[in-house]
Amino acid sequence: MSNNMDIKNICCLGAGYVGGPTCSIIALKCPDIKVTVVDLSKERIAQWNSDKLPIYEPGLDDIVKERRGKNLFFSNDVENAILEADLIFISVNTPTKTLGNGKGRAADLKYVEGAARMIADIAKSDKIVVEKSTVPVRAAESIAKILSANRKPGVSYQILSNPEFLAEGTAVNDLLNADRVLIGGEETPEGQKAIEKLCSIYEHWIPRKNILTTNTWSSELSKLAANAMLAQRISSINSLSAVCEATGADVSEVARAVGLDSRIGSKFLQASIVASYWQQVIDMNEYQKSRFTAKIVQSLFNTVSGKRICILGFAFKKNTGDTRESPAIHVAKTLLDEGASLKIYDPKVEESRIYEDLTHPLICEEPEKVRKLVSIHQDAYTASEGTHALVICTEWDEFVTLDYNKIYAGMMKPAYIFDGRKILDHQALIDIGFHVQTIGRKLHRPISNRCWSSNPTIN
C-alpha cells in the first residue's frame, strides 16, 4: 500500500461482540472497501456465515445479510486476510487474568500478543495495525515491539489506538451514531498519515467534528478512564439504593432529582444488580449483588434449601446473549449454594451457555449438582410453574408485559417476586397477591396480607 492510497482492504482479527458489529457497519457504510473478519474459532465463523449469528444485537441481522458475500466476509483463512489487508483491526478478547500476577484484576493480553505475532509472521507488505481491544496504557508499545522484532525485510507498520465504546444490546445504534470516535497514533508524519487513513473510513458516516485524534497513550487511557467513570456512577447509585432501602426514600426518585442537574446528567443513574469491571468500585457492586441475594434468602424464611426458584434473564443486560460478568451467575450460584433448585429462562442465552457458566470451576466444585438442580426453560410461564419465587435478573422488555395473573396462579404460595432490575409495576403485582422486593425501595403490603411474614414491615 503506498502511503497516499486510500484503504481498500480491511482485516479484523476477532469475530466477537466488537469485531462482528464494527466491521458489519464499516462494510455497510463503505461499500468500496472489502472487509474480512477472521477468527480462530471455526464454530464462530460458521455461525457468522449462517442464518443464526453467534451474537444477538438488534438490527445486526439485516446489515449482515445485506453486505455478506458482497464486501463483508467471515473466514478462518487468517493468512490470506492478513496478506491482502491494508489495515488490520485487533479486536480479540482481553479477559481478566485468572492466574498469576494481577489475577482477578489485570487484563490478560495473551490474545493481543498472539494476534500481533500472527501479523508479524504473515505480513509481506506495509500495514496499519489498529488496536481496538481494550488494553492497558502502552499496550501499543508492546504490539510495536513484537511487530518490529519479527518483521520481514522492507515491511513497516503503523500502530494506532482506536478503542471501541459500543455497549452490547445497542451496538448497531452506538456504531452508527457514535458520540465520538477516538483515534490515537504517533506524532510522526507517518503516524499522522495513518490516523488520516483511519479517519477517512469513519468519515463515511461520522461527522469529522466527532472524530478525535490524539497521541496513542491518550487514546488508550481515555478508554480506561471512560470505563472507570461509568463504573463509578453505577457504584454511586448502587450505594444510594442501600440508603434508600434503609430510610424509605425511593432510589428512582432520588436518581431523577439528582440527574436533572445538568452538571450531573441522568444517564447511568439506574440502580440495578449490575456487575462492574473496575477494581476501585467493584466492591460496591459486589455488595449490591450480595445484598440482593441475601434479601431473597432472608425473605424466604431464611432458607431456600429444597425450594424451587425461577430466574428470569441470564444475560448481563437486555438485547444481548452475552453472559460474561452477568449478575445472574452470582445470584444463581448463591441460591444453589443455599440448596435451592433453579428454573431458568432467558430469551437469547443458549442452554449450553448457562450450564457452562454455572459449572465453571470458579463458580462450582460439583458440576453434577448443577445439572441436577438447574433446568432451562423456553418461556417464563413454564419456568415459573411450581416455584416459590421469581427473580428478575435481566431487564428484558418481554418480562414487563408477562401475564402475571397467570404466573401467580401457577406458583407456590406465598409467591414472591424479586425485581433486581426495577422494571415491573410493583403495585400491580402486590394487588395480584405477590410479595415484592426490589432494589432501592421499601415496598409495603396491606396489613391483612402481612400476617404470615417473618418481618412485620418489609416483605
Ligand X SMILES: NC(=O)c1ccc[n+]([C@@H]2O[C@H](COP(=O)([O-])OP(=O)(O)OC[C@H]3O[C@@H](n4cnc5c(N)ncnc54)[C@H](O)[C@@H]3O)[C@@H](O)[C@H]2O)c1
Residue 167 labeled ligand binder: no
CB 166, min distance to ligand X, A: 5
Range 38-57, binding ligand X (CB under 6 A): 38-41, 44
Q: How many CA atoms within 13 Å lie on the side-chain side of 182?
A: 22
Residue 248 labeled ligand binder: no
Q: CA angle at residue 407 from 402 to 411, to 5 degrees?
A: 155
Question: In this chain, which stretch among 91-99, 121-129, 137-145, 187-195 interacts with ligand X, using CB under 6 A?
Answer: 91-99
**Residue 234 binds to ligand X (criterion: CB under 6 A):** no
Query: Residues 118-157 vs ligand X: string with x where CB under 6 A?
Result: x--------------xx-----------------------
Binding residue (CB under 6 A) for ligand X from 7, 16, 127, 315: 16
CB 189, min distance to ligand X, A: 29
Residue 207 labeled ligand binder: no
Question: In this chain, which stretch among 12-20, 201-209, 233-241, 408-416 interacts with ligand X, using CB under 6 A?
Answer: 12-20
**Residue 185 binds to ligand X (criterion: CB under 6 A):** no
CB 441, min distance to ligand X, A: 29
Closer Cβ to ligand X, 183 or 407, answer by number? 183
Binding residue (CB under 6 A) for ligand X from 164, 174, 220, 357: 164
Residue 313 labeled ligand binder: no
Residue 36 labeled ligand binder: no
CA–CA distance, 354 with 344 (Å, rounded to integer): 9
Closer Cβ to ligand X, 44 or 197, answer by number? 44
CB 211, min distance to ligand X, A: 17
**Residue 313 binds to ligand X (criterion: CB under 6 A):** no
Residue 16 labeled ligand binder: yes
Residue 17 labeled ligand binder: yes
CB 53, min distance to ligand X, A: 12
Q: Which residue is nearest to ligand X (CB)?
A: 16
**Residue 166 binds to ligand X (criterion: CB under 6 A):** yes
Size of the site for ligand X (CB under 6 A): 26
Residue 95 labeled ligand binder: yes
List residues forming the annotated binding site for NAD(+): 14-19, 39, 44, 92-96, 133-134, 168, 324
Which residues are at the interface with ligand X (CB under 6 A)? Answer: 13-19, 38-41, 44, 91-94, 111, 114-115, 118, 133-134, 164, 166-168
List residues forming the annotated binding site: 14-19, 39, 44, 92-96, 133-134, 168, 324
